[in-house]
Structure 1
Amino acid sequence: MKNYEDIEDVGSSVVMEALAPYQTYFESPINRLSVIKGGLSSSSIQDLLDISGSTRLDMAKNLDLTEPTLRKHLSIAKELSTSLSEHVLFLLELYDKGIDTFGSIKEFKNWLPQHNIGIDAKPIDLLDSITGINMIMNELNRIDYGVLA
């Protein structure tokens, strides 16, 4: 598990607390697959909203849901579908990686809407697909290693 206390200006303890339960799923594909197949709790969407600071409308768009369907998931405690669980988990992992790369949730959120030459897009526009999230993760890895093009 990462120690967010070592990272400057994480933004708030809300972000740390919201990401902490998911850390073990990020560590191995087997752990990730297990929770995806079992279905994440619908509360994971609220955690994602808390971490990202996104509006419900933007989050619904990213998750390919209608806003009323998103509200339903937020109000009823049940497991999410396999595909929705996977998308939510990948977004949570992306925010975890973004905090690790940039040192704070604020800096990562500032980076997301900026056009990025390496992916020839604004990262925030790619959050609606697993492929887009993988492209952003690859770009974050390149940033970590100083390979910026």
Structure 2
Amino acid sequence: MSTPKPYKFLDDDEVNLTSMVREGISFPYLTKLSNYIHFNIDDWASYLHLSERTIQRYKKENKTFDPIYSEKIVMIELLYKKGIEVFGDENKFYAWMDYQSIPLGGVKPKELLDTAFGINMIRDELGRIEHGILA
């Protein structure tokens, strides 16, 4: 029995990322990412400001997500890539995302994934952690 291939995060090449976002993220891609970062449809519905039913329709109709939603998916994926790099272990990063953070206003970082500002706040906090600047 072969072991599953490890998840390969996107590269940070902004030209390729821009093209990918414009073309739209496919539902199978979202599913693969979801399995790796432990998100379910309910999580994505919250972060993308879509109903579960709308997300299921993307799946049923084999549609790619519109650029506005694709961009958010890519931003979240890149954030998780950075977080795992900073923490050196995916489980430590996942635990941190579910733990209330005083520097982030006393909320769980995962609760901030529904806005670009929130994603940027988490990225900034990861930068501080990476450089040893703890609040």
Q: What's the TM-score once normalised by structure 2's chain length? A: 0.86
**Residues 72, 97 of structure 1: CA spacing in aligned structure 2 closer, same or farther, 3 A cutoff?**
same
Aligned length: 132
**Distance apart, 1:109 and its partner CA:** 1.1
Residues 43 and 101 of structure 1: CA distance in aligned 2, closer, same or farther (over 3 Å): same
Distance 1:13 1:105 in 2: 17
- Which of the residues 61, 65, 78 maps onto 1:93? 78
- Indicate if the aligned counterparts of 2:79 and 2:123 stay in contact, CA closer than 8 A: yes
Q: Distance in 2 between matches of 1:146 and 1:105?
A: 19
2:10 and 2:77 in contact (8 A); partners too: no
Where does residue 45 of structure 2 map in the other structure? Answer: 60
Deviation at 1:126, TM superposition (A): 0.2
| Contact persistence 1:42–1:76 (CA under 8 A) | no
The one-letter amino acid of 1:47's match is K
**2:97 aligned to which of 112, 126, 141:** 112
Question: Secondary structure at 1:84's aligned position in 2?
Answer: helix
- Helix, strand or coil for the counterpart of 2:35? helix
Residue type of the alignment partner of 2:58: H
- Contact 1:94/1:137 (8 A) holds in 2: yes
Deviation track 1:40-77 (CA, whole Å, cap 9, x = no partner) reads: 22222212311221232122111111111112223333
The equivalent of 2:108 in structure 1 is: 122
1:34 aligned partner, one-letter code? S
Kindly provide the amino acid, as one letter, of the partner of residue 53 in structure 2.
P
Q: Tell me how far apart the structure 2 counterparts of residues 73 and 23 of structure 1 sit (CA, whole Å).
A: 22
Alignment partner, residue 132 of structure 2: 146
Alignment gaps of 5+ in structure 1: 1-11
Change (3 A) 1:34 1:106: same
What is the identity percentage for the equivalent residue pairs of Structure 1 and Structure 2? Answer: 31
Alignment of 1:1-149 (within 5 A): 16-17=6-7, 20=8, 22-24=9-11, 27-120=12-105, 121-149=107-135
Q: Structure 1 residue 97: deviation in Å?
A: 1.1
Question: Which amino acid counterpart does residue 125 of structure 1 have in structure 2?
Answer: E
